[in-house]
């Protein structure tokens, strides 16, 4: 009888211990799943962006020359520092996250960095500028310079908080703890390919891609060393569909696809994107504590171009503002001592291309709606949930 009671007591103790062990394991697993393949809004406090004119919200305009009207006219009703009649994809990203538009880091007038900063500048490249690239006209503020600006920005904010600055100053700056919780967006590479095509053969341009991608990977590692943990990385768009590229390139029937785009240029973009995606996969394995989302901007933009009329746009290779090689939309023309701004079309929302190189507000909105919900991303994660790491590394 005593043996039976003792056995029952041991069984009860074992059952209670097993229950708590299972409960604890489920608790740990649920926490792991929130980080690995979890769901739910990430509530990013800030966004830091790096890139070129596709996401520049005023950097080049502040550093070199103001981008004049009619740029900005559709949405902002004034020059906004953007190569567009309205908003860019980075603006729609901020809106999707419930944040204000990002101020350009280089802009000293009425800026507020409380919810992030934009280090992108028009004409920037992944590669550091050399004499060849400078002669063509690219920005000296390459990706590595943008990272140096970010590092100084972060360091100075940490110093200010340690010194005990006033609440008024703090209200315009991110908090030190925000840097590890931020979303880091990167949209750059188009100018590297454009520069290569302007200065070497297509074969040489393709051969230059591994070196460019390696420099990109080094930039991501540098940001990770600074505490960045959530990355939203755009690939490059179909450069063979840019109206100015089509006009500049010798027309050969076999090199033109069903949409009028240049096959060979888009093949180079495809190769860049293939190697970029491979690099992102490698970076995921190197940094299992980080979430890296690869966003197929090419697919979204080419889908729009391929079915432009169905989505309410006119000729996808047309453009709204300026004239090729004559009166460019982003630069005033001087005639007989008088500055003349480019004249836009009457209905910018009907055009995919705003100025022959950059997308219109309407096209950017269409693409943003395609990409921000994760429809063309790897992993297929909405941007609001991009902090969750993928189980399939």
In a domain? residue 103: yes
Label residue 391 by pLDDT band (50, 70, 90): low
Higher model confidence: residue 359 or residue 133? 359
Q: Is 355 a known active-site residue?
A: yes
d(CA 172, CA 115): 8
Domain that holds residue 206: 41-312+372-385
Our measurement of the distance from residue 187's CA atom to the centroid of its chain's CA atoms, rounded to an integer in Å, reads: 3
DSSP 282: H
CATH of the domain at 160: 3.40.50
pLDDT greater than 50 at residue 392: no
User: Which of 83, 77, 93, 38 minimizes the C-alpha distance to 59?
Assistant: 83
Give the per-residue pLDDT at 393: 47
Task: Give which of 365, 261, 265, 262 is closest to 313, Cα–Cα.
Answer: 365
Vertex 113: Cα angle to 155 and 389 (nearest 5):
75
Q: How far apart are CA 192 and CA 126, in angstroms?
A: 7
| Residue 34 is assigned to a structural domain of this protein | no
Q: Which residue has the higher pLDDT, 251 or 240?
A: 240
Does residue 245 have a pLDDT over 70?
Answer: yes
- pLDDT-derived band of residue 4, with 50, 70 and 90 as boundaries? very low
pLDDT for residue 180: 97
Task: Mark whether 358 is an active-site residue.
Answer: yes
319 forms bridges with which residues in the sheet? Answer: 353
- 268 pLDDT more than 90: yes
What is the number of domains present in the chain?
1
Res. 115: pLDDT tops 70: yes
pLDDT higher for 283 or 8? 283
Strand runs labelled E in the chain: 47-51, 116-118, 183-187, 230-234, 291-295, 333-335, 338-340, 377-378
Question: Is the residue at 344 inside a domain?
Answer: no
Is 319 within 8 Å of 356 (Cβ atoms)? yes
Q: Give 178's contacts (C-beta < 8 A, 6+ positions apart).
A: 45, 46
* pLDDT of residue 123 exceeding 70: yes
Residue 20 inside a domain? The answer is no
Higher pLDDT, 131 or 101: 101
pLDDT exceeds cutoff 80 at 111: yes
* Active-site entry in 178, 355, 360, 388: 355
User: 89-98, 128-137, 301-310, 356-365: which range is least confident on average?
Assistant: 128-137
| Mean of pLDDT values over 367-389 | 96
pLDDT in tens, 159-182: 999 998 888 899 999 999 999 999
Which residue(s) pair with 232 in the sheet?
185, 293
Average pLDDT, whole number, for the chain?
Answer: 89
User: Is residue 214 one of the residues assigned to a domain?
Assistant: yes
Helix (H/G/I), strand (E/B), else coil: 292: strand
pLDDT category of residue 135 using cuts at 50, 70 and 90:
confident
Tokens 């504590």 sit on residue: 289
Residue 313, pLDDT > 50, answer: yes
Question: How high is the pLDDT of residue 341?
Answer: 77
> Looking at residue 336, what is its pLDDT?
60
Instruction: Judge whether 81 lies within some domain.
Output: yes
Is residue 303 among the annotated active site residues? no
Active-site annotation holder among 52, 53, 55, 103: 53
Catalytic residue among 358, 360, 361, 388: 358
284 with 290: CB under 8 angstroms? Answer: yes
Neighbours of 199 (CB within 10 A): 14
pLDDT tens profile 50-78:
999 999 999 999 999 999 999 999 999 99
- Calculate what percentage of the chain has a pLDDT beyond 90: 77
Reply yes or no on whether the pLDDT at 37 is more than 70.
Answer: no
Structure token digits, residue 108: 């000293």
């Amino acid at each position: 009888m005593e043996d039976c009671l003792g056995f029952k007591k041991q069984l009860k103790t074992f059952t209670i211990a097993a229950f708590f062990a299972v409960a604890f394991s489920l608790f740990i697993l649920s926490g792991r799943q929130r980080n690995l393949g979890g769901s739910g809004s990430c509530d990013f406090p800030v966004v830091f962006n790096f890139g070129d004119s596709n996401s520049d919200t005023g950097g080049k305009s502040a550093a070199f020359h103001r981008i004049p009207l009619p740029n900005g006219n559709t949405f902002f009703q004034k020059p906004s520092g953007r190569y567009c009649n309205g908003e860019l994809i980075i603006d729609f990203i901020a809106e999707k996250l419930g944040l204000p538009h990002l101020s350009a880091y280089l802009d000293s007038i009425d800026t507020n960095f409380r919810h992030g900063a934009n280090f992108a500048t028009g004409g920037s490249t992944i590669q550091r500028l050399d004499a060849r690239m400078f002669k063509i006209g690219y920005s000296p503020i390459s990706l590595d310079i943008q990272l140096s600006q970010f590092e100084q920005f972060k360091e100075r904010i940490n110093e200010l908080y340690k010194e005990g600055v006033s609440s008024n100053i703090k209200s315009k700056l991110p908090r030190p703890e925000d840097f590890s919780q931020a979303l880091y967006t990167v949209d750059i590479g188009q100018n590297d390919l454009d520069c290569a095509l302007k200065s070497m053969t297509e074969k040489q341009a393709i051969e230059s891609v591994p070196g460019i991608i390696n420099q990109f990977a080094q930039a991501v590692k540098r940001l990770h060393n600074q505490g960045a943990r959530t990355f939203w990385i755009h690939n490059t768009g179909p450069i063979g569909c840019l109206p100015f590229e089509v006009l500049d390139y010798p027309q050969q029937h076999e090199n033109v696809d069903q949409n009028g785009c240049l096959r060979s240029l888009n093949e180079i973009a495809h190769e860049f994107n293939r190697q970029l995606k491979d690099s992102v996969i490698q970076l995921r394995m190197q940094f299992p504590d980080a979430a890296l989302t690869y966003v197929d901007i090419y697919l979204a933009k080419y889908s729009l171009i391929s079915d432009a009329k169905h989505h309410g746009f006119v000729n996808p290779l047309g453009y709204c503002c300026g004239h090729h090689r004559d009166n460019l939309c982003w630069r005033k023309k001087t005639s007989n001592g008088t500055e003349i701004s480019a004249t836009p079309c009457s209905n910018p929302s009907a055009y995919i291309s705003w100025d022959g190189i950059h997308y219109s507000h309407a096209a950017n909105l269409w693409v943003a709606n395609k990409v921000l919900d994760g429809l063309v991303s790897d992993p297929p994660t909405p941007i609001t949930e991009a902090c969750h790491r993928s189980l399939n590394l």
